[in-house]
Amino acid sequence: MKSIFLALLAGVLSIASAQTIVIQNATVLTITKGTLKGSVVIKDGKILEVGEKVLVPPGAQVIDAGGQYLMPGIIDAHSHIAADSINEGSMSVSSMVGIEDVLDPEAIAIFRALAGGVTTANILHGSANAIGGKCLVIKTRWGKDTEGIKFEGAKPGIKFALGENPKRQGMATTQGTGRRGAADTSNLRYPGTRMGVEDVIRQAFTEAKQYQATWKDYEARKAKGETVIPPKRDLKLEPLVEILEGKRLVHAHCYRADEILMLLRVADDFGFKIKTLQHVLEGYKVAKEIAAHGAGASTFSDWWAYKVEAYDAIPYNAAVMVKKGVLVSLNSDDAELMRRLNTEAGKTVKYGGLTETEALSLITINPAKQLDIDNRVGSIEVGKDADLVLYDKHPLSTFAKVQKVMIDGTVYFDRDKDVSDRDQKQLRKKQLIEKEKQNQPQQKKGFAGGARRPA
């Protein structure tokens, strides 16, 4: 069945992007290959040529982008849109759940993110548990179905969380206990402290190693021809085995320097890597250690003090980590902020003096590397996916508006078209409301008189 879906997907893509498109006269911010005034040629959904003077293939659709700015589609490394549920908060290790199972390709937040220039997003499980659910990387292909919005081939990920959120235990109840007024703590969740969070992660990976060994033992005995009852498959432990085998990327929600160091130590002890630290607001205190582990950092621009563990945040965090050699990205963690990540990147020019290209890297090529998809997206380079955003002004300006967004060479958002369609949609809405109103009284009459007359 998967092959049916892939075939379908391939069919859709080839129809939509078989065309050759040339975007001309734009200021092209390639991110990795400098900035130039020129053109980008797109064929079969991929970037074919980038340059000041390109050859326009016969029959190509030409988009004149005179005075406009073209940059790679924005990548949000931390988002919670497009899913029907986010937290399985009932237990401290919920690695059996995954966003892929609850994807909502019709969530309006996808359209809004798209209209804000986002073409790729990492949809994460929430931070309710030390080891949360599996993540999914999507492209904001508005209008496509569940299969159609998946970033095909992206490496799977998983959410971890440290600190305040995973150590929330819930409320003790006073009902159902033998002694009057005695609190019933049986429904409280372990852990209740930061020490406990570490313990939960260590315990889980200890079990995962055991599970791995059990299956290896079974396979070996079966290969020898023995009649053995197969062990149970455990959907909670399987993703952890994948982490140990380097097949699944860990994205860990964290705030404080001490817990960041704790997690890096745990990972070293068990022999796996933390791919990114998420939020990581005290990352500037331990940037060298983060860089040494090889972990990326995906942080906020200047959000702080919204909870106790965010009090030591500084707006220079991203810039400091960049200068210490950490691979840094800026994320939204929010459907609204997601629409203007370009201005979030702009703040790092003010706080920390990053160059324009460095600033834009934080929302393009760097998150692409953090998600292991930089061979496909994150910059305007020949051979990469034609995921492009056209702005009317420089994207780091607060005045910049998205004009067009293209994914795999297909235009998914066009501001002019969107604006011109609004009247028609409004009209259609009015018509439907009228129709419903007209049917309403008639239905009610039918309801009263509808009881069957018995024979």
Partner 1 sequence: MKYRIRFASVFALLAVAICAKAETPSVIAIKDARIVPVSGPVIPKGTVVVRNGLIEAAGASVPTPSDAWVVDGQGLTVYPGLIDALSTWGIPNASAIESSSPSRRGGFTPPDFPPAPSTPAAAPGPIARGPEDRPSNTSYLLAADQVSPADRRVETARAAGFTGAATFPTRGIFAGQGVFLNLAGQRAGNMVVQSPAGLFLTVRTAAFGGGFPNSLMGAIAYIRQIYLDADQYKTAKEIYAAHPLGNKRPDYDKTLEGVLAAPRVMMPATNPKEIERMLKLGHELKLKTVLYGVEEGYRAVDLLKKHNASVLVNLKWPAPSREADSEATDSLRVLEMRDKAPSTPAALAKAGIKFALYAGALDRPQDAARAVKRAMDAGLSAEDAIRALTLSAAEIYGVADRLGSIDKGKIANLVVTKGDLFQSGTEIKFVLVDGVKYEPAPEAPPASPEATQ
Question: Which residues of this protein are in contact with partner 1, per CB under 8 A?
Answer: 1, 4, 80-81, 83-91, 94, 96-99, 101-109, 125-126, 133, 145-147, 170-171, 176, 186-187, 227-236, 335, 425, 428-429, 432-433, 435-436, 446-447, 450-455
- Rounded Cα gap, residues 280 and 283, in angstroms: 5
Query: Cis before residue 231, ω within 30 degrees of 0?
Result: no
CB of 208 to partner 1, least distance (A): 15
From 239, 43, 248, select the one nearest 137 (Cα to Cα): 248
Nearer to partner 1 by Cβ, of 3 and 398: the residue is 3
- Rounded Cα gap, residues 7 and 3, in angstroms: 6
Tokens standing for 142? 């508005």
CB of 427 to partner 1, least distance (A): 10
Tokens standing for 380? 């305007």
Q: Is 300 helix (H, G, I), strand (E, B) or coil?
A: coil
Q: Which helix (H) or strand (E) holds 292?
A: helix 287-293
Nearer to partner 1 by Cβ, of 227 and 398: the residue is 227
The residue assigned the tokens 């078989």 is: 18
- Rounded Cα gap, residues 345 and 360, in angstroms: 6
Nearer to partner 1 by Cβ, of 60 and 96: the residue is 96
CB 4 within 8 A of CB 21: no
DSSP classification of residue 418: H
- Rounded Cα gap, residues 102 and 87, in angstroms: 11
Nearer to partner 1 by Cβ, of 51 and 446: the residue is 446
CB of 146 to partner 1, least distance (A): 5
CB of 185 to partner 1, least distance (A): 11
From 146, 196, 136, 203, select the one nearest 168 (Cα to Cα): 196
CB of 383 to partner 1, least distance (A): 32
CB 156 within 8 A of CB 123: no
CB of 131 to partner 1, least distance (A): 13
Q: Is 384 helix (H, G, I), strand (E, B) or coil?
A: coil
Nearer to partner 1 by Cβ, of 88 and 356: the residue is 88
Count the neighbouring beta carbons within 10 Å of the beta carbon of residue 281: 26
CB of 93 to partner 1, least distance (A): 9
Count the neighbouring beta carbons within 10 Å of the beta carbon of residue 228: 13
> CA gyration radius for the chain?
26
**φ/ψ (deg, to 5) at 170:** 90, -175
CB of 302 to partner 1, least distance (A): 23
Nearer to partner 1 by Cβ, of 181 and 230: the residue is 230
CB of 347 to partner 1, least distance (A): 25
- Rounded Cα gap, residues 390 and 160, in angstroms: 35
Nearer to partner 1 by Cβ, of 43 and 80: the residue is 80
Longest CA pairwise span in the chain (Å): 88
Task: List Cβ neighbours of 211 (8 Å cut-off, separation of 6 or more).
Answer: 231, 234, 237, 238, 240, 241
CB of 263 to partner 1, least distance (A): 24
CB of 197 to partner 1, least distance (A): 17
Nearer to partner 1 by Cβ, of 265 and 430: the residue is 430
- Rounded Cα gap, residues 249 and 272, in angstroms: 10
Nearer to partner 1 by Cβ, of 398 and 442: the residue is 442
